[in-house]
Amino acid sequence: MPAGFWKETPRTVFAAIRGYHRRRGWMAWHIAALPRLPEMPELHDLTGREPPPEETDEERADRIYRNSMAWVIVTGGAQTEPEGTA
């Protein structure tokens, strides 16, 4: 349990719980309503965020290379085989 919990008052705890239930209700309503739409709206219309710009082939290749190098660092450079292939 987070240490901040013990500093909360019953009023703030209940407010947090109400907010949680309100968000869950919003999510449940949208999960039920979206399949009934004749056409699925774009994700950015639902989230209010603009979609990221399209990646060029060069940017995509660079991102994949950087991710693979990060993976090599995380695994200590070890080459591992997927389970069941050895």
**pTM of the shown model:** 0.38
Domain boundaries, the chain: 1-40, 52-80
* Structure tokens given for 21: 């239930």
* DSSP string covering 27-76: HHHHHHHGGGSSSPPPHHHHH--PPPPPPPHHHHHHHHHHHHHHHHHHTT
Helix (H) or strand (E) holding 17: helix 10-33
In the predicted structure, residue 1 carries a pLDDT above the cut 70: no
pLDDT tens digits, 19-55: 888 888 888 888 898 889 899 888 888 888 888 889 9
CB 24 within 8 A of CB 31: no
